[in-house]
Every structure is written in C-alpha cells, then in structure tokens.
Amino acid sequence: MSTKHLITTTDFCVYHHLEHSFIADLQDAGLVEIKIVNNTTYIPESELQKLERMIRLHTDLDINVAGIEAISHLLQRIEDIQEEMRLLQNSLRAYE
C-alpha cells in the first residue's frame, strides 16, 4: 500500500507533543482512523483536521477521550440536523 497520503503517528505525536497512547485511545473510541502499513501506524490526511480539533480539545480545554467522544457525537448530530434542514428548505422552495 502506498503511504503517499499518510503521516506516521510517530511524526504526528512528536510535532504535537503527544503520547502515542492518546492516538490509540482515540482509535479505540472509534474517533479516528489509523492505517497500519509494514508494521508502522499512519494517519490518513483526511483525518488530520478532525484529529487536530480533538487535540485542541484535549490540550487547551483538558478534556479527556470520553469527553471528546461525547463532543464529537454531538457535533455530528448537529451536522446531520443542519443537512436535514437544508434538504427540507430545498423541498419547501419547490412548493413556493
């Protein structure tokens, strides 16, 4: 598998001054996707924005993984509701 769009967890943790266990805990909670290639763990580029948001919650606000999981779930529900509202508004416009 190509590692072109992947960042090693080691490089990521060194850059953000994190323990590897934090990334592993996020993965165990299902909050972030980790790829393993040749016994090296990688973070896909597509996960970076979400992961960096979680790191800010953890470091700046001192929120643990369980709290991050709850916040992520609520944010996803808000996004889902906003999408549903957008679709309903578009449907209503069709009747105007």
Cβ pair 5, 33 in contact under 8 A:
no
Cβ pair 26, 68 in contact under 8 A:
yes
Q: What pTM did the predictor assign?
A: 0.80
Cβ pair 37, 1 in contact under 8 A:
yes
Q: What is the CATH number of domain 6-95?
A: 1.10.1660.10
pLDDT mean values, one per 10 residues, the chain (96 residues): 82 92 94 92 93 94 95 96 96 87
Residue 1: predicted pLDDT: 57
Amino acid at 67: G
Which sign, positive or negative, has the C-alpha torsion 77, 72, 46, 49?
Answer: positive
Q: Where are the domains of the chain?
A: 6-95
